[in-house]
Amino acid sequence: MPALLPLELSVLSTGTGTLPRRTCPDERPGAALVRMKTDGAVRARQRSIWKTHWPGAFLVLADVFGFFVAWKGAYFARVWMNPWMDLPINEALPYWQVSALMVAVGVLNCGLFGMYRVRGRLAALTRWDQLLKAGYHYLLYLMVVGYFLKELDLGRSVIFLAALFAFLYLYASRSLLRSIKARSFAKGHGLVRTAIVGTGKLAREVKESLHHHPEVGFELAGFIRHPNDPEDEAVRNGLPVIGGSEDVDDIVHDYAIEELFIAVPHLSPTEQLNLISLGRTRGLRIQLVSNLFGVITARAKVDEIAAFPVISLRDGHLSSVQGFVKRTFDLAVGTLGVLLWLLLFHWWIALWIRSDSKGPVIFRQTRVGRDGVPFELLKYRTMHTEAKKYETAPTSPEDPRITRAGRWLRKTSLDELPQLVNVMRGEMSMVGPRPEMPFIVEQYQEWEKRRLDVKPGITGLWQVIGRKNLPLHLNMEYDFYYIMNQSVLLDIEILIRTVPAVLKGKGAF
């Protein structure tokens, strides 16, 4: 199954395409209409403020103010805490003296982590990675400054609070910026004109991904036919073929293309290099879409053997220390989760299920865990007892198998809470691929069995950014990305993102 690297996992950035256009001799019916519409509107979009350095400059100024407020706010918060502390905080003068330095450290730290690249399209996980790393390093830098300025006697509590407030500010300001950009894209401002080279299945996956993620700000002009990729009318689905690969240069010029997605499974090295060269010449961004799980190279290492460049792929396995840290993390989060679950949710959910339909409160089902070992998965019963125990999970809230209580429980994902017991038993992890039923695992191809290399999880990548209208076994690319890049930091990012995903209930059935 060819798979596309999820758009949220890739780092996409804009180009600076050219504007004049002329008639392309090899365009298909409907392409002329696309071309006619591009004249004035495309020029306006390509002059959008999002494609300039002004938003980045504004962010720098906003961060100067934000870091200053975080630093001074931390001091006043510590003053407010004086009655509950053993020692009162020292006078304010030293904190005023170093405020400019602390602000400068914060702004430079954000610059190092690329947080002023407003024109780029950062993935959801990449954004969290930036925020967490920027916040962590800002704390380290403040501690270093405090160490070298011992004579000022800067309070450690102030330093920790300043780093916390700075992280909250960065999260709020970047979330606001993304919201503004998304609204701007929804109105057609700042969109990047793009085309897809290819007309086969892989091209369709690119088109569907762009369609399902309008927040990345792409405007599709059409497909570009390639002789190695059989054309499929179903793939196009209303989007025109605007020419052939031999006319890419003219198409880029005529349709004001700023970014190209190359979605041809078998593209020769010469053709790839020609397209890359075209990108350099035209100021064009080129995205090569892999049909062999490009996600696995995210942590690849480039090496040289006998004068040949090679790419060594990480096997995805955790070291003993990393495994211990992950298990400790699971136990800590799981213990807290079990306590909150039993105190706040279990009893009234159990009462509701009992009163809504006949049958047990807890549904037990055999699932396949790590290394293919079966285990008994626990969850709240959300379907009628007449439903078959082993069937493909519902992909619509209107599925007749789902009970009234179950519809809401599945929408909010509260039906998964009993799996905290599976985590405590060591059968599952807080984060990982979802466990599958045996009859589905039996149909796995050899490469699909890689999902069984890690413990299954309560939540994972596909739950927070995947295509939830598909069965979980069709969201393989997200699982493979996680397996090849797993870490406690990534687990924290996914858990944090699970909270808003659950609250929104988007795509949950």
Q: Do residues 207 and 239 touch, judged by C-beta distance below 8 A?
A: yes
pLDDT for the residue numbered 125: 55
- What letter represents residue 363's amino acid? F
pLDDT for the residue numbered 450: 79
Q: Do residues 90 and 155 touch, judged by C-beta distance below 8 A?
A: yes
User: Quick one: which of 357, 375, 358 has its CA closest to 366?
Assistant: 375
Over residues 151-189, the pLDDT tens digits come to 888 888 999 999 999 999 998 998 888 888 888 888 878
Buried b (16+ CB within 10 A) or exposed e, 366-388: ebbbbeeeebebbbbbbbeeeee
User: Quick one: which of 419, 406, 416, 417 has its CA closest to 353?
Assistant: 406
- 406 CB-near residues (< 8 Å, 6+ apart): 353, 356, 380, 381, 382, 383, 415
**Strand partners for 383:** 402
Complete DSSP assignment for 112-160: HTTTT-TTEE--HHHHHHHHHHHHHHHHHHHHHHHHHTGGG---HHHHH
Query: Domains in the chain, ordered, with CATH?
Result: 54-185 (no CATH), 190-292 (3.40.50.20), 320-504 (no CATH)
Output the CA–CA distances (angstroms, integers) from residue 279 to 160, 258, 391, in the order listed.
46, 9, 48
Complete DSSP assignment for 371-423: GG-EEEEEEE--B-TTS-SSSPPPSSTT-TTB-HHHHHHHHHTGGGTTHHHHH
- Which helix (H) or strand (E) element contains residue 338? helix 320-344
DSSP designation for 436: B
Q: Do residues 138 and 74 touch, judged by C-beta distance below 8 A?
A: no
Burial class from Cβ neighbours inside 10 Å (0-12, 13-18, 19+) for residue 305 reads: exposed
pLDDT for the residue numbered 489: 81
Which runs of consecutive H residues, i.e. helices, occur in 187-290? 201-212, 233-236, 248-254, 269-282
pLDDT for the residue numbered 22: 35
Q: State residue 238 phi and psi, 5-degree precision.
A: 95, -15
pLDDT for the residue numbered 152: 86
CA-derived radius of gyration, the chain: 26
User: Quick one: which of 314, 308, 408 has its CA closest to 356?
Assistant: 408
pLDDT for the residue numbered 470: 52
141: Cα separation from own chain's centroid: 28
- SS3 at position 458: strand
- SS3 at position 96: helix
User: Quick one: which of 379, 389, 380, 384 has its CA closest to 402?
Assistant: 384
Read off the pTM: 0.59
Q: State residue 66 phi and psi, 5-degree precision.
A: -60, -45
Which runs of consecutive H residues, i.e. helices, occur in 47-123? 54-80, 93-97, 99-112
- SS3 at position 89: coil
Residue ranges of the chain whose pLDDT lies below 50: 1-45, 293-295, 297, 304-308
Query: Long-range contacts of range 317-323, CB-CB < 8 Å, 24 or more positions apart?
Result: 317/453, 318/486, 322/487, 322/488
Q: Which two tokens stand for residue 449?
A: 């069995």
Pairing of strands 241-244, 218-225: parallel
d(CA 230, CA 191) in angstroms, rounded, equals 29
User: Quick one: which of 165, 167, 61, 192 has its CA closest to 116?
Assistant: 61
Q: Do residues 54 and 44 touch, judged by C-beta distance below 8 A?
A: no
